[in-house]
């Protein structure tokens, strides 16, 4: 097994500092191998200065070169073999099958963005040719394409130690578009982060790219995280985590002399609406599906269904009975780290402290604190309580959902209108249900980034049509997605070239279209 060295990756150089930390396994509380160096401001400067220096050459590198980099990263990650999966399992308590799948997702994402980089049409090239004879004024030759923003700071997230951490979707989409990346490793999986950072560093070197293209540091979020966001060379930020931490980064970015975009994914309750016909036909089946979705990964998904709304009646009663049985029988399981468990218990208890919120069911299994375990729970309340108590709209990150009983369909729509921004919103309904529900789907489309019919919100496909992002507080900017090919739009900006000679134009904009990409020429899409 590869030894964990605990060093920071500063533009290809391994760097040790005096202050270190270690990490314990959530599985048993035992300290894991490795003392990790905490960086200070000097290291932040070094990483950002190297990134700023690399931004020019990397930004001008070809799509083929960036595809080579992304594929090399995928290969180096796979080369880590079981070493990576084992360390990730010890640090995150996620089971081997899940981590193997997540590694596949990580590698798949890298390859998707490699394909995007190689194909090249993402630059959204547009050409409006000169019209020297136009009256009253001639038109210049105008050509527009998207260029990288510059150094992107990525915060690894704890619940996807591979797919949304060091070499995750943020890093892949930033590198695809030619932006150097500086990762702030998540403190819960520093060893996993180190292994992946080593893979990226090797890939950067193999491809002959400037070492400043990638750095990874360990440091306190409240100090080093903020310093990374405030650094003058930083041009954009990707973050996933709590609403409070996200807000702190947003505020720091907004207060810079030159504010920068932050794409922060923070909080979502992913409401599920169960309509009467669906409950009549499939109460038990939906209850089983919901139990599976809310307990998947110990409820540690941003898309975990945390709210369930239905019209009160015997079918909803059957649903609750089935769900209660499923919850009671569900095992306790280890969460990602002790802070997440503490946070889960606090938010769960705050919800249960709301007058009118009652426990529907708890797992009979005991949650072992020594194993960082949580036990699933469902609470139940009525519409009046939900509308009154703001606590009901606070995300409980972990295996807990709140059921809300409504009087009728009209009240379901009132509840839907009251929701804050969400990543997803789900409706279970027959065709007749959906017709009778009036504008429910439209209300939900105005509130959420993804609207699901007769499914469950967990499981976020990596594809072109995915939207993983919603109105605040789900994410900081609903105009962008964090998952899928469109995620790269977060890290690019258009530049228009006016009357620039063909020989000096970037290849994407040259007359001959040497890259063969899709372009908008005089308003018409063409590859000519």
Alpha-carbon gap, residue 160 to 510, rounded angstroms: 41
Bond prior to 459 in cis (omega within 30° of 0): no
* Residue 402 C-beta: closest distance to a second copy, Å: 21
Percent helix, strand, coil in the chain, to 5, is 45, 20, 40
* Residue 257 C-beta: closest distance to a second copy, Å: 8
At 40, give phi and psi (nearest 5°).
Answer: -115, -165
Among 338, 365, 414, 500, binds a second copy (CB under 8 A): 500
Q: Which residues pair with 239 in a beta bridge?
A: 264
Q: Which two tokens stand for residue 100?
A: 């193997």
Strand runs labelled E in 103-235: 126-128, 142-148, 152-155, 181-184, 214-217
Query: From the candidates 68, 71, 176, 302, which is the catalytic residue?
Result: 302
* Residue 172 C-beta: closest distance to a second copy, Å: 17
Among 20, 33, 60, 369, binds a second copy (CB under 8 A): 60
Give whichever of 379 and 434 is closer to a second copy, judged by the CB atom: 434
Give whichever of 72 and 116 is closer to a second copy, judged by the CB atom: 116
Q: How far apart are the first and last CA of the chain?
A: 52
Per CB under 8 A, does 464 bind a second copy? Answer: yes
* Residue 520 C-beta: closest distance to a second copy, Å: 6
Per CB under 8 A, does 297 bind a second copy? Answer: no
Per CB under 8 A, does 507 bind a second copy? Answer: no
| Segment 251 to 270, residues that bind a second copy, using CB under 8 A | 251, 254-255, 258-261
How many of the chain's residues bind a second copy (CB under 8 A)?
Answer: 81
Among 80, 85, 127, 296, binds a second copy (CB under 8 A): 127
* Residue 492 C-beta: closest distance to a second copy, Å: 7
Give whichever of 285 and 461 is closer to a second copy, judged by the CB atom: 461
Among 503, 512, 514, 528, binds a second copy (CB under 8 A): 503
* Residue 319 C-beta: closest distance to a second copy, Å: 20
Letters for 401-430 (x = contact with a second copy by CB under 8 A, - = none) are -------------------xx---------
Per CB under 8 A, does 495 bind a second copy? Answer: yes
Q: Which residues of 111-134 are buried (b: 16+ CB within 10 A; e: fewer)?
A: bbbbebbbebbbbbbbbbeeeeee
| Segment 72 to 101, residues that bind a second copy, using CB under 8 A | 101
H or E stretch including 77?
helix 63-79
Residues 6+ positions from 284 with CB-CB distance below 8 Å: 318, 319, 322
Q: In this structure, is the dihedral angle defined by the CA atoms of residues 351, 355, 359 and 365, taken in order, positive or negative?
A: positive
Per CB under 8 A, does 431 bind a second copy? Answer: yes
Alpha carbon 17 to its chain centroid, in Å, reads 30
Q: Which two tokens stand for residue 86?
A: 């084992």
Letters for 128-147 (x = contact with a second copy by CB under 8 A, - = none) are x-------xx-xx-xxx--x
* Residue 422 C-beta: closest distance to a second copy, Å: 11
Q: Select the span of 271-279, 389-397, 399-407, 444-452 touching a second copy (CB under 8 A).
A: 444-452
| Segment 329 to 368, residues that bind a second copy, using CB under 8 A | none
Cα-based angle 92, 44, 233 (whole degrees, multiple of 5): 115
Among 5, 202, 418, 518, binds a second copy (CB under 8 A): 518
Among 2, 79, 314, 498, binds a second copy (CB under 8 A): 498
Query: From the candidates 43, 91, 102, 265, which is the catalytic residue?
Result: 265
Q: Select the span of 84-92, 200-208, 307-315, 487-495 touching a second copy (CB under 8 A).
A: 487-495
- The radius of gyration of the chain's CA atoms, rounded to the nearest angstrom, is 25
The residue count for the chain: 528
Q: Select the span of 7-15, 337-345, 392-400, 442-450 touching a second copy (CB under 8 A).
A: 442-450
Residues 6+ positions from 423 with CB-CB distance below 8 Å: 265, 268, 270, 302, 303, 448, 449, 450, 457, 468, 469, 470, 474, 475
Query: Does residue 265 carry a catalytic annotation?
Result: yes
* Residue 21 C-beta: closest distance to a second copy, Å: 32
Per CB under 8 A, does 305 bind a second copy? Answer: no
Alpha-carbon gap, residue 106 to 81, rounded angstroms: 14
| Segment 182 to 211, residues that bind a second copy, using CB under 8 A | none
Q: Which two tokens stand for residue 93?
A: 């308590």
* Residue 405 C-beta: closest distance to a second copy, Å: 25
Q: Check if the beta carbon of residue 125 is closer than 8 Å to that of residue 509.
A: yes
Give counts: helices (H), strands (E), the chain. Answer: 15, 23
Catalytic residue positions? Answer: 265, 302
């Amino acid at each position: 097994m590869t030894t964990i060295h605990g060093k920071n990756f500063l533009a290809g150089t391994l760097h040790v500092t005096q202050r270190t930390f270690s990490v314990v396994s959530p599985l048993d509380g035992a300290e894991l191998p490795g003392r990790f160096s905490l960086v200070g401001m000097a290291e932040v400067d070094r990483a950002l200065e190297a990134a700023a220096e690399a931004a020019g050459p990397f930004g001008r590198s070809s799509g083929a070169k960036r595809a080579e980099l992304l594929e090399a990263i995928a290969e180096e990650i796979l080369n880590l073999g079981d070493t990576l999966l084992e360390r990730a399992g010890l640090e995150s308590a996620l089971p081997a099958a899940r981590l193997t799948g997540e590694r596949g997702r990580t590698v798949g994402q890298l390859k998707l963005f490699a394909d995007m980089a190689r194909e090249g049409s993402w630059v959204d090239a547009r050409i409006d040719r000169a019209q020297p004879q136009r009256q009253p004024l001639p038109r210049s030759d105008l050509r527009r394409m998207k260029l990288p923003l510059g150094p992107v700071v990525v915060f690894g997230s704890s619940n996807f130690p591979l797919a949304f951490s060091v070499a995750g979707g943020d890093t892949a989409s930033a590198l695809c578009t030619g932006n150097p990346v500086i990762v702030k490793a998540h403190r819960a999986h520093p060893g996993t982060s180190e292994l992946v950072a080593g893979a990226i560093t090797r890939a950067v070197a193999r491809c002959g790219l400037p070492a400043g293209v990638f750095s990874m540091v360990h440091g306190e979020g409240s100090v080093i995280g903020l310093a990374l966001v405030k650094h003058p060379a930083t041009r954009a930020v990707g973050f996933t985590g709590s609403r409070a931490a996200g807000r702190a980064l947003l505020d720091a970015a907004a207060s810079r002399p030159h504010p920068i975009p932050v794409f922060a994914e923070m909080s979502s309750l992913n409401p599920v609406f169960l309509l009467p016909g669906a409950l009549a036909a499939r109460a038990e089946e939906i209850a089983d599906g919901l139990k599976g979705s809310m307990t998947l990964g110990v409820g540690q998904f941003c898309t975990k269904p945390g709210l369930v709304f239905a019209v009160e009646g015997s079918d909803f009663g059957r649903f609750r009975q089935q769900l209660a049985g499923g919850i009671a029988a569900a095992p306790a399981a280890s969460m990602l780290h002790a802070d997440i468990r503490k946070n889960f218990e606090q938010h769960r208890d705050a919800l249960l402290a709301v007058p009118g919120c009652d426990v529907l069911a708890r797992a009979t299994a005991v949650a072992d604190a020594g194993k960082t375990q949580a036990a699933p729970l469902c609470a139940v309340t009525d519409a009046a309580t939900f509308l009154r108590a703001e606590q009901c709209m606070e995300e409980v990150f972990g295996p807990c959902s709140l059921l809300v009983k409504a009087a009728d369909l009209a009240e379901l729509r009132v509840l839907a209108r009251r929701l804050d921004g969400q990543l997803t919103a789900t409706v279970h309904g027959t065709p007749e249900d959906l017709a009778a529900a009036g504008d429910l789907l439209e209300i939900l489309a105005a509130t959420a980034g993804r609207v699901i019919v007769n499914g469950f919100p967990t499981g976020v496909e990596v594809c072109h049509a995915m939207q993983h992002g919603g109105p605040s507080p789900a994410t900081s900017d609903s105009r962008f997605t964090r998952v899928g090919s469109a995620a790269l739009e977060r890290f690019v900006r258009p530049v228009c070239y006016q009357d620039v000679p063909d020989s000096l134009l970037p290849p994407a904009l040259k007359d001959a279209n040497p890259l063969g990409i899709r372009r908008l020429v005089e308003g018409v899409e063409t590859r000519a």
